[in-house]
């Protein structure tokens, strides 16, 4: 079991620029005005990450054309825009797996995308699912080759860690045609990754995401209701990066999770490299 023992680790979110809002129009029975509004330029406040609050420096409407959005869509009057939109980034670890296609199908049904942090050793035999997830608008991030804590961290050096991510990056690029630079450290970046380690990750050109909400689906086997309870208990910030895994209970809870977040006024977004923002336990803006 891939256990994340990071109960106290809550990343602050530092956003220089991002575009929120669903890339696709929600299905008719999922009505949420907030989810359909574009992100307005805002200025936020900075707070201690230990309190679970979020720093939002600036947000701006996405300037690039999206294959999921109509081109040249007329913008609503300024007074109709959300002054402080709430955005949720759904992220799934430890795939690709037998659940990947089902997760993507649920996302498609709701007109949203997610960010998948995949394990290199899981790719063989699941190449088609990985490729399909990418082609349908989801971002494929890296989660190491082995997810083995001893191999990745026990030496205290970044050498084996980066070797695994470099190898996996090449594998994903061969399948999807894109070399991903966003990584997620197995078991979270803290306390495993110190400043010198982070320096090496920065030099290698990678960005690194932790999370703001841990669904604990890795813990609640066959208990989708418990996963849902964790989401409800933890979600409170203007921007949430939600940690989930490719597991049976997650698949079962996912439609409810999406509906709950929609009802709470969250729009959904997928990671975009040109709109990167910092989400890590060390609050390192370089990552």
> In sequence order, what DSSP letters do the residues of 62-90 get, joined into one string?
--S--TTS-TTPPPPPGGGSBSS-EEEEE
Q: Phi/psi of residue 209, each to 5°?
A: -110, 135
241, 211 in Cβ contact below 8 A? yes
pLDDT of residue 11: 72
pLDDT of residue 82: 43
SS3 (DSSP) at 249: helix
Output 80 or 264, whichever has higher pLDDT.
264
For residue 210, pLDDT over 70 is answered with yes
Q: Would you call 93 a catalytic residue per the annotation?
A: yes
Q: Tokens for 182?
A: 């966003």
pLDDT of residue 219: 95
SS3 (DSSP) at 117: strand
Catalytic residue among 93, 94, 210, 214: 93
> How confident is residue 10, by pLDDT bands cut at 50, 70 and 90?
low
The pTM assigned to this predicted structure is 0.76
pLDDT of residue 24: 42
Q: Residue 207's closest CA among 258, 271, 111, 120?
A: 271
Gap between the Cα atoms of 242 and 177, Å rounded:
26
Gap between the Cα atoms of 282 and 287, Å rounded:
10
Q: Would you call 210 a catalytic residue per the annotation?
A: no
Gap between the Cα atoms of 102 and 251, Å rounded:
7
Catalytic residue among 110, 147, 245, 284: 245
For residue 45, pLDDT over 70 is answered with no
Gap between the Cα atoms of 243 and 278, Å rounded:
15
């Amino acid at each position: 079991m891939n256990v994340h023992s990071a109960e106290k680790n809550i990343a602050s979110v530092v956003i220089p620029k991002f575009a929120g809002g669903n890339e696709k129009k929600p299905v008719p029975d999922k009505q949420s005005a907030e989810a359909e509004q574009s992100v307005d330029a805002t200025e936020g406040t900075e707070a201690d990450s230990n309190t679970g609050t979020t720093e939002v420096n600036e947000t701006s409407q996405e300037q690039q054309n999206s294959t999921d959005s109509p081109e040249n869509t007329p913008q609503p009057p300024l007074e109709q825009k959300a002054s402080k939109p709430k955005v949720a980034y759904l992220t799934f670890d430890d795939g690709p797996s037998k659940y990947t296609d089902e997760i993507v199908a649920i996302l498609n049904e709701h007109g949203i995308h997610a960010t998948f942090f995949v394990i290199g050793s899981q790719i063989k035999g699941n190449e088609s699912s990985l490729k399909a997830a990418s082609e349908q608008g989801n971002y494929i991030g890296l989660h190491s080759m082995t997810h083995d804590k001893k191999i990745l961290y026990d030496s205290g050096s970044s050498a084996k860690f980066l070797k695994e991510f470099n190898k996996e990056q090449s594998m994903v690029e061969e399948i999807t045609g894109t070399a991903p630079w966003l990584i997620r450290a197995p078991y979270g970046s803290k306390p495993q990754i110190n400043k010198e380690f982070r320096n090496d990750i920065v030099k290698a050109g990678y960005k690194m995401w932790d999370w703001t909400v841990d669904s604990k689906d890795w813990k609640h086997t066959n208990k989708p209701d418990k996963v849902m309870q964790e989401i409800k208990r933890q979600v409170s910030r203007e921007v949430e990066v939600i940690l989930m895994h490719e597991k049976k209970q997650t698949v079962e809870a996912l439609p409810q999770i999406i509906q709950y977040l929609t009802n709470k006024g969250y729009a959904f977004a997928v990671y975009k490299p040109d709109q990167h923002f910092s989400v890590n336990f060390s609050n390192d803006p370089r990552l």
